[in-house]
Structure 1
Amino acid sequence: MNKEVSNRYLNRELSWLQFNARVLQEAEDISVPLIERLRFLGIFSNNLDEFFKVRYATIRRIVEAGREGFNVLGGITAKDLLETITQTVISQQANSMSVLSDITQELQKENIHIIDETQVNEEQAEFINSYFIRNVSPALATIMVSELEEFPELKDSGAYLAIRMLMKPNDETFEQRINYALIEIPRVIDRFVVLPSSGEKKFIIMLDDLIRFSLGNIFNIFEYEEITAHMIKITRDAELDIDSDLSRSFLEKISKGVKGRSSGVPVRFVYDKEIDNETLAFLLTKMDIHDTDSIIPGGRYHNRRDYMGFPDLGRKDLLYEPKTPLPIPGLSLQGSMLDEISKKDYLLYSPYQSFAYVVKFLREAAIDPKVKTIKITIYRLASISHIAGSLINAVKNGKEVTVQIELQARFDEAANIRYAEQMQTEGVKLIFGVTGLKVHCKACVVERLESQKLRRYSFISTGNFNESTARIYTDYTLFTANPKIGKEINKVFDFFEVNYQVKKYRHLIVSPHYTRNAFNNLIQQEVENHKNGLSSGIRLKLNSLSDFKMIDKLYDASRAGVKIQLIVRGICCLIPGVEGMSENIEVISIVDKFLEHPRLYIFENAGDPKYYISSADFMSRNLDRRVEISCPIYDPDIKRELEDTFQISWNDNVKARVISDKQDNAYRKNDKPPARSQFELYDYYLNKLKEFDSH
């Protein structure tokens, strides 16, 4: 049984680490513009932070509960998994530092120099001293830890300089000859400080090194012989603890939980490997770091996620060429969207096409006198959200607005809480989900009075209604006035309000009640079609594939002879290409300029393919513990569009990696002309627009 488990599935956490290795490959790829490479390094680091806060923390809890977790972890014990994760991350971190060194050298060739505190010239020193006094010093928190009975609680993912001072023999300030302090690197100041240029040369110093340069200024009241500074960082368990106090609102509980996250249990400690052993031992003892925590020696700099915001210094040639999001052929942002949608369905594929259509839909609904109600689900809002503004505007215009807002959208709770409070104040009716279920579906339905009858206009998306992420996440959004779809979206909102009534649906596939069975049946139908000599096939585009039962179903289909093509961006626990189990399954993963985010399901269905766009991945949580919507596509033009876009992605042989049991992230190579799907998709939509305009 144990051998069977380990031979059938890849471990979820290790598969995720391989996804992050693909992100690191982008930082390593010399064909990627130089500053974009730095930003991919930042994404790699940010991903790793979130991984430790959530996934590593979960495995650690399994160990501390005295459980092995062998079967649920895909054939590895939790204790062994923690060790494997730590070793894998140490290796990846070493690789990332090597990549950073290479990029830094390449930047120098472009006259961009990242200098440290030892390389500062006289003019730069003058600038730094002034900058430190004006900007940094007022924001600096310095803690003399040697003098404290209790070690301070370090902030989650905060970066600190651990200071060691060797005092002069005549110093009478401290009892000890060696004293320690901590300096918190302020988050409110840009990590990269641009220094005065010298001719064509541009200079940048990291805030950490600017502070190192200013140590004499910070500790000028002490008599010391020697002072050193090494960076440390702690990552904490990010699971929200929601108390059961019935007298407090859900909004208050989540808000309290988010604030409490900063004091979660430590799960990872990263330190500069050049730190002296005495200082390291002092810190580990004082912070009560255990062997179930991941202790990782790193480089001089941590929180490399900040590289996502590396300044471009006016060097547009070191960035991806910006592409203006395209209009949807036939759907103008100038006229009435609702009038156009009343005639036919439209598909938006952002960021190739403009996300402005989603905002325009809501803005139009907000001021249209015929619109009576707006209902929408919200999972992740942008920090400045035109979506929220449009909904508030609708209330001011007398519309009845209902918003199902997910307050437990991990790491976006703060923005959602802020907007929830604002919308609630303005009169928006808020629904805070269903007990025990996250609401992850992305849907909106508008009711409009036309000829004394209510007509419904809807949009359903694979991604969040978030203007910021829409620029870098690829997602499908369907706009439709199909009354059957609108009626069933309305049923989902009825379920939010009356949870004990499970609705029936003929068109939408809705989690947690129907998704697993529906997709099981769709897969089984392909098996039956193949047995009966009818055309069969399954093509799926997903973010993650980790549900063992769903994987088994795909294995069954493969054994029956059904050809399966999978594009999986992140976690893939399925092992393709194994004789007698999965020889008819191929899996690729695409990591490129944009984050691949849509879920698209295509079933051949004996020559009459069925197409679904969805908010749900094939993960247990999406199938069983969340409210998700998979929406069928009925419009023939949109079906062709989905067919085309899947095929363009599947043909990628530039940024596609082959997923296999080797987990080596090998690039897919073949004899065909180079095909980079994200670039070709933009050209595809550009050509569609030209064809439409020519008619």
Structure 2
Amino acid sequence: MSKIVSHKEYFINRDISWLDFNHRVLQEAENKTVPIIERVRFLGIFSNNLDEFFRVRVANIKRMTLWGKGATGFLHEDPYVLLNLIQEKVIILQSRFDHVYEKILKELRKENIYMIDEKKLTKDQLAFTRSFFKHEVRQWLVPIMLTNKLPFPELKDRSIYLAVKLSKSKEKGKPTYALIEIPSDELSRFVELPKEGSKRILMLLDDVVRVGLEDIFSAFQFDKLEAYTLKVTRDAELDISEDISESFMNKVSKSLKNRKSGQAVRFIYDSEMPKDLLAVIIKGNKLSKGDHLIPGGRYHNFKDFIKFPDIGGQRLKYSPLPPLEHPDLRNAVSLLSVIRTKDILLHFPFQSFDYIIDLLREAAINPNITTIKMTLYRAAENSRIIKSLINAAKNGKNVTVVIELQARFDEENNIQWARILQDEGIRVIFGTHGLKVHSKLILIREKVGKNMRLYAHVGTGNFHEGTAKIYTDLSLLTCDKNIANEVEKVFEFFKENYKRTTYRKLFVSPTNTRRNFIKLIETEIKNAKKGLEAYIIIKINNIVDEEMIEKLYDASCAGVNIKLIARGNCSLVPEIKGLSENIRATSIIDRFLEHTRIFVFCHGGQEKYYLSSADWMVRNLDRRIEATVPILDKTIQSQLKDVLNIYLSDNVKARVIDSKGSNSYVEANSEKPIRSQIEVYNYYKKLLDV
């Protein structure tokens, strides 16, 4: 690799690249071809994404400011400079967000859906709101008076507050200040007022509380009450104790309690807030400019807009795409019997996730099944996956679940699931010290006479019924002995991780994933130099690992044709003459979150196909337990190639990835608009007619 390639202009900073991704999410909220209710929800997704970005990435960079020169070497950027770049970009995006929100409100009104505040209430609406406040809201409010005599209250992460300034117009004395937490965990953020003819009228809970301010502070006889929204985002890092006498689950539980009071990494406030009130809040929270003080609009915590009410009829939302049956499974009495005869590839949410639940249910009651093992990174609230495992244990099966307690923002849920599973007699393993378990594996053992038969699942996504409806993911179900035996080896590693394990079929991080992908790229480079056909197709979530990117640059320089679809972070800069001119990179954002990781290598005409739980990031390749599986079935390979070609042909939702973060839409080279997610759905639908 040429020395010049190490310069930062050839690697987009991962955090700047992530903000470019979130810009693409905001584009969906701007896009008038997207149904209006879905556009509102994209505002919520954008906001939720940004919250998590500050909790994790910005918090991490702030911690690195304590490293001195070491941080600059690690980040390839002075952390203070990077924080300023992030601040500038976030303010631009926030301004754009506010503009989009105002436009959407106008378009909602055209559909007879009105968002109003407390200043626009009619007499009848005011009476309704006061009654709603009295009977539903008041009980949840705990106003806190801000005085020098008491410690300043610690503002909670994920909450929104009204900062209140109270004064008496006839007196010139010092005003009184207070804080009120909006009870959005206990009540819906959206309050629907009585209909007016065909009009649907919504009000935010924040404004209902504003209506009740006089009632809340009636004992003080203030006649001037002003309220302004604010929120704090805190560092989400878990600092886990090294106390060897304490169980890992207890350590995680304790660190979760500490997270709630993590260092502030962002403070957003209503830009109309009076300077004296703002100064009191900033001083009380011991905030500084380095804590990303961001002026905003009247409302915050737009993540709640993900749950915007279903009002106004179906035409204001996406048309339903009911999950399809799999052609080989639709009439199957037994899934296990089908898997014995052929590999099955399921593609969610285009095809039904129920097949995974049905597989576990069948295994739970099959008298010949002795053992079920699976990894669990995230699970749904009322998980049928968990219920199926419990049912299997009750039916005498030996059930083992490897559960990742440090799945970001699902730690508390996973602790609860671990306790429930343990109470049901299921063996729970908490992964491996220092390595997150991110692989998506199931192993089922069946007794056949004196022998054993193994069934395996290797996938790209979580065993989560909720996300399976909105994330695109792949699951391979196979009885292939070599693959199943190696999946069993992974589970043995969870149990006895001091043993060294070799894999010939699977790529397993941190053992051999990086090495094997590099070998595959190097084969393409060698073939290109020989004048043979050489190409690579990659569909991935994030690609930021510099060694892997440099290998792709090497491949491009050798003449390897590379097509890359990266949904999120992409530090690779495509189409630089003499470096990456043979790399084309796009990103697709649409109704489903693209989550599949697929890799195709020409390999001298003997194409090799893989699906993986791993992105090309240092953490996935070196610090997590991930699994990549080869696709050996020729029919499945052909279908995967068809699906990839559809994604590569997208001229409706695909954006060009470039060094400027322009996110320009791919220009249509054909008369027919190709929206890949709809075309993929139709592709699978046609397979049912064959």
Q: TM-score range by the shorter chain?
A: over 0.9
Residue 155 of structure 1: aligned partner:
156
Residue 353 of structure 2: aligned partner:
355
The superposition leaves residues 14-36 of structure 1 with CA deviations (integer Å, 9 ceiling, x where unpaired) of 00000000000000000000000
SS at structure 2 position matched to 1:64 = coil
**Are the aligned partners of 1:588 and 1:658 in contact in 2 as well (CA < 8 Å)?**
yes
Deviates more, 1:140-149 or 1:105-114: 140-149
Tell me how far apart the structure 2 counterparts of residues 259 and 188 of structure 1 sit (CA, whole Å).
20
Using a 3 Å threshold, how does the CA distance of structure 1 residues 110 and 487 change in structure 2: closer, same or farther?
A: same
SS at structure 2 position matched to 1:252 = helix
Shift of 1:567: 0.3
Is 1:64 the counterpart of 2:66? The answer is yes
CA-based RMSD: 1.4
Deviates more, 1:386-395 or 1:18-27: 386-395
Shift of 1:335: 1.4
**Are the aligned partners of 2:574 and 2:584 in contact in 1 as well (CA < 8 Å)?**
yes
Tell me how far apart the structure 2 counterparts of residues 265 and 140 of structure 1 sit (CA, whole Å).
25
Residue 488 of structure 1: aligned partner:
486
Tell me how far apart the structure 2 counterparts of residues 226 and 241 of structure 1 sit (CA, whole Å).
45
**Are the aligned partners of 2:111 and 2:312 in contact in 1 as well (CA < 8 Å)?**
no
Tell me how far apart the structure 1 counterparts of residues 322 and 29 of structure 2 sit (CA, whole Å).
24
Residue 180 of structure 1: aligned partner:
177
**Are the aligned partners of 2:536 and 2:601 in contact in 1 as well (CA < 8 Å)?**
yes
Tell me how far apart the structure 2 counterparts of residues 124 and 393 of structure 1 sit (CA, whole Å).
51
Tell me how far apart the structure 2 counterparts of residues 70 and 642 of structure 1 sit (CA, whole Å).
41
Write the letter of the residue equivalent to 2:178. A
**Are the aligned partners of 1:167 and 1:177 in contact in 2 as well (CA < 8 Å)?**
no
Question: Of 47, 50, 56, which aligns to 1:48?
Answer: 50
Tell me how far apart the structure 2 counterparts of residues 65 and 155 of structure 1 sit (CA, whole Å).
27
Tell me how far apart the structure 2 counterparts of residues 347 and 4 of structure 1 sit (CA, whole Å).
40
Write the letter of the residue equivalent to 2:393. V
**Are the aligned partners of 2:443 and 2:488 in contact in 1 as well (CA < 8 Å)?**
yes
Write the letter of the residue equivalent to 2:46. F
SS at structure 2 position matched to 1:135 = helix
Tell me how far apart the structure 2 counterparts of residues 333 and 124 of structure 1 sit (CA, whole Å).
55
**Are the aligned partners of 1:159 and 1:231 in contact in 2 as well (CA < 8 Å)?**
yes
**Are the aligned partners of 2:113 and 2:312 in contact in 1 as well (CA < 8 Å)?**
no
Shift of 1:276: 0.7
Is 1:239 the counterpart of 2:237? The answer is yes
Deviates more, 1:156-165 or 1:138-147: 138-147
Tell me how far apart the structure 1 counterparts of residues 57 and 103 of structure 2 sit (CA, whole Å).
30
**Are the aligned partners of 1:57 and 1:237 in contact in 2 as well (CA < 8 Å)?**
yes
Residue 428 of structure 2: aligned partner:
430
Instruction: For 1:450-529, list aligned pairs within 5 A.
Output: 450-529=448-527
Residue 605 of structure 1: aligned partner:
603
Residue 680 of structure 2: aligned partner:
681
Shift of 1:248: 2.0
Tell me how far apart the structure 2 counterparts of residues 286 and 548 of structure 1 sit (CA, whole Å).
42
Is 1:126 the counterpart of 2:127? The answer is yes
Tell me how far apart the structure 2 counterparts of residues 4 and 564 of structure 1 sit (CA, whole Å).
20
SS at structure 1 position matched to 2:320 = coil
Residue 137 of structure 2: aligned partner:
136
Deviates more, 1:666-675 or 1:562-571: 666-675
Residue 293 of structure 1: aligned partner:
291
**Are the aligned partners of 1:5 and 1:71 in contact in 2 as well (CA < 8 Å)?**
no
Tell me how far apart the structure 2 counterparts of residues 606 and 509 of structure 1 sit (CA, whole Å).
21
Tell me how far apart the structure 2 counterparts of residues 333 and 474 of structure 1 sit (CA, whole Å).
24
Tell me how far apart the structure 1 counterparts of residues 149 and 379 of structure 2 sit (CA, whole Å).
41
**Are the aligned partners of 2:363 and 2:369 in contact in 1 as well (CA < 8 Å)?**
yes
Shift of 1:76: 2.5
Residue 441 of structure 2: aligned partner:
443
**Are the aligned partners of 1:374 and 1:444 in contact in 2 as well (CA < 8 Å)?**
yes
SS at structure 1 position matched to 2:223 = strand
Question: Of 196, 214, 217, which aligns to 2:215?
Answer: 217
Residue 115 of structure 1: aligned partner:
116
Shift of 1:123: 1.6
SS at structure 2 position matched to 1:292 = helix
Tell me how far apart the structure 2 counterparts of residues 596 and 67 of structure 1 sit (CA, whole Å).
37
Write the letter of the residue equivalent to 1:403. V
SS at structure 1 position matched to 2:586 = strand
**Are the aligned partners of 2:332 and 2:338 in contact in 1 as well (CA < 8 Å)?**
no
Tell me how far apart the structure 2 counterparts of residues 526 and 36 of structure 1 sit (CA, whole Å).
42
Residue 94 of structure 1: aligned partner:
95
Instruction: For 1:482-631, list aligned pairs within 5 A.
Output: 482-631=480-629
Shift of 1:495: 0.7
Residue 405 of structure 1: aligned partner:
403
Tell me how far apart the structure 1 counterparts of residues 98 and 313 of structure 2 sit (CA, whole Å).
24
User: What TM-score comes out, normalization by structure 1 length?
Assistant: 0.97
Deviates more, 1:529-538 or 1:485-494: 529-538
The superposition leaves residues 468-523 of structure 1 with CA deviations (integer Å, 9 ceiling, x where unpaired) of 00000000101111111111000001111111112111100100010111000000
**Are the aligned partners of 1:542 and 1:568 in contact in 2 as well (CA < 8 Å)?**
yes
Deviates more, 1:257-266 or 1:31-40: 257-266
**Are the aligned partners of 1:195 and 1:203 in contact in 2 as well (CA < 8 Å)?**
yes
The superposition leaves residues 584-629 of structure 1 with CA deviations (integer Å, 9 ceiling, x where unpaired) of 1110000001000000010011111100000000100000000000
SS at structure 1 position matched to 2:65 = helix
Residue 309 of structure 1: aligned partner:
307
SS at structure 2 position matched to 1:70 = helix
Write the letter of the residue equivalent to 2:55. K
Instruction: For 1:646-665, list aligned pairs within 5 A.
Output: 646-665=644-663
Using a 3 Å threshold, how does the CA distance of structure 1 residues 69 and 133 change in structure 2: closer, same or farther?
A: same
SS at structure 1 position matched to 2:581 = coil
Shift of 1:314: 4.7
Task: Count residues in correspondence.
Answer: 686
Using a 3 Å threshold, how does the CA distance of structure 1 residues 333 and 314 change in structure 2: closer, same or farther?
A: farther
**Are the aligned partners of 1:169 and 1:177 in contact in 2 as well (CA < 8 Å)?**
no
**Are the aligned partners of 1:359 and 1:386 in contact in 2 as well (CA < 8 Å)?**
yes
Shift of 1:671: 2.4
The superposition leaves residues 514-541 of structure 1 with CA deviations (integer Å, 9 ceiling, x where unpaired) of 0111000000001111122222101000
Write the letter of the residue equivalent to 1:97. D
**Are the aligned partners of 1:577 and 1:585 in contact in 2 as well (CA < 8 Å)?**
yes
Residue 201 of structure 1: aligned partner:
199
**Are the aligned partners of 2:234 and 2:260 in contact in 1 as well (CA < 8 Å)?**
yes
Q: Which runs of 5+ in 1 are unaligned?
A: none
**Are the aligned partners of 2:443 and 2:457 in contact in 1 as well (CA < 8 Å)?**
yes
Shift of 1:413: 1.0
**Are the aligned partners of 2:165 and 2:225 in contact in 1 as well (CA < 8 Å)?**
yes
Tell me how far apart the structure 2 counterparts of residues 451 and 19 of structure 1 sit (CA, whole Å).
54
Tell me how far apart the structure 2 counterparts of residues 70 and 54 of structure 1 sit (CA, whole Å).
18
Shift of 1:133: 1.5
Shift of 1:334: 5.8
Write the letter of the residue equivalent to 1:12. R
**Are the aligned partners of 1:161 and 1:230 in contact in 2 as well (CA < 8 Å)?**
yes
Write the letter of the residue equivalent to 1:290. S
The superposition leaves residues 559-605 of structure 1 with CA deviations (integer Å, 9 ceiling, x where unpaired) of 11101000000000011111111111110000001000000010011
Tell me how far apart the structure 2 counterparts of residues 605 and 320 of structure 1 sit (CA, whole Å).
40
SS at structure 2 position matched to 1:526 = helix
Tell me how far apart the structure 2 counterparts of residues 593 and 515 of structure 1 sit (CA, whole Å).
31
SS at structure 2 position matched to 1:141 = coil
Residue 82 of structure 1: aligned partner:
83
**Are the aligned partners of 2:164 and 2:225 in contact in 1 as well (CA < 8 Å)?**
yes
Residue 146 of structure 1: aligned partner:
147
Tell me how far apart the structure 2 counterparts of residues 652 and 683 of structure 1 sit (CA, whole Å).
14
Using a 3 Å threshold, how does the CA distance of structure 1 residues 140 and 524 change in structure 2: closer, same or farther?
A: same
Tell me how far apart the structure 2 counterparts of residues 550 and 3 of structure 1 sit (CA, whole Å).
13
Write the letter of the residue equivalent to 2:676. S
Residue 344 of structure 1: aligned partner:
342
**Identity between Structure 1 and Structure 2 (%):** 48
Tell me how far apart the structure 2 counterparts of residues 68 and 449 of structure 1 sit (CA, whole Å).
56
Using a 3 Å threshold, how does the CA distance of structure 1 residues 478 and 30 change in structure 2: closer, same or farther?
A: same
Tell me how far apart the structure 1 counterparts of residues 584 and 142 of structure 2 sit (CA, whole Å).
53
Write the letter of the residue equivalent to 2:90. V
